[in-house]
Amino acid sequence: HALLAFTLGVKQLIVGVNKMDSTEPPYNEARFEEIKKEVSNYIKKIGYNPAAVAFVPISGWNGDNMLEPSDKMPWFKGWNIERKEGAKADGKCLIEALDAILPPSRPTDKPLRLPLQDVYKIGGIGTVPVGRVETGVLKPGMVVTFAPVALTTEVKSVEMHHEALQEAVPGDNVGFNVKNVSVKELRRGYVAGDSKNNPPRAAADFTAQV
């Protein structure tokens, strides 16, 4: 999972060492330190910096160190991390480690790129492509171009979880209704972009991480 996360661009990591109540003896510090050392070595090889990763001994079943410090592990003085951005954080519980995660930057300033995951025909509405906004912003009224077919049309509405949006930003999984386009003209894998701001085009070559 750590390798997959790093490959997919996940920059921040928390390691919750679960089932501390099942160690021998229960809540054993030596076992936690052993696991911490092994996992630290592994994630370092992948590309993570262990100093920036919170290691928290927990028992999900009993709730130890989940929301508040557990009295069953007095040896655990807490976790602390130091990121290359200079931001330090510390705490004693898993929820504090979650709260310390830095929100990812949303590339709204880049040209719109929205790969289609599927295309639906919805009665009374029309053709609705769906996908995740990767970069840029999608708004109702915007004229979009679909690559690689260079099909251009206007966006009538944008929805997420059945709620209308004034704009969709990177990370949003949305459906958007388009004008005068048949469901047969669009396919999964096409990429939508703003026709007025560097729309997606075919390329002779590209660089990618595989």
| Cis, peptide link before residue 148, omega less than 30° from 0 | yes
How high is the pLDDT of residue 83? 86
Could you tell me which residue, 79 or 123, shows the higher pLDDT? Answer: 79
Q: How far apart are CA 92 and CA 70, in angstroms?
A: 9
User: Is 0.75 topped by the overall pTM?
Assistant: no
Summarize the confidence of residues 13-25 as an average pLDDT.
96
- pLDDT band at residue 124 under the 50/70/90 scheme: confident
Domain spanning 2-99: which CATH class is it, in words? alpha beta
How high is the pLDDT of residue 103? 84
In this structure, how many other beta carbons lie within 10 angstroms of the beta carbon of residue 173? 12
How high is the pLDDT of residue 141? 96
Query: Could you read off the pLDDT of 103-119 as tens digits, one per residue?
Result: 888 899 999 999 999 99
Query: Could you read off the pLDDT of 77-96 as tens digits, one per residue?
Result: 999 999 887 789 999 999 99
Query: Could you read off the pLDDT of 166-200 as tens digits, one per residue?
Result: 999 999 999 999 999 999 999 999 999 999 999 99
pLDDT at 59 over 80: yes
H helix intervals, the chain: 2-7, 29-46, 94-99
CATH 3.40.50.300 residue spans of the chain: 2-99
Determine what percent of the chain is predicted with pLDDT higher than 70: 100
Q: How far apart are CA 148 and CA 170, in angstroms?
A: 21
Q: CATH code for 114-194?
A: 2.40.30.10
How high is the pLDDT of residue 210? 75
Q: How far apart are CA 98 and CA 119, in angstroms?
A: 35
Contact 126, 138 (CB under 8 A): no
How high is the pLDDT of residue 203? 84
| 99 φψ region: left (φ > 0), alpha (ψ -120 to 50), beta (else) | alpha
Summarize the confidence of residues 143-152 as an average pLDDT.
95
How high is the pLDDT of residue 52? 95
CATH 2.40.30.10 residue spans of the chain: 114-194
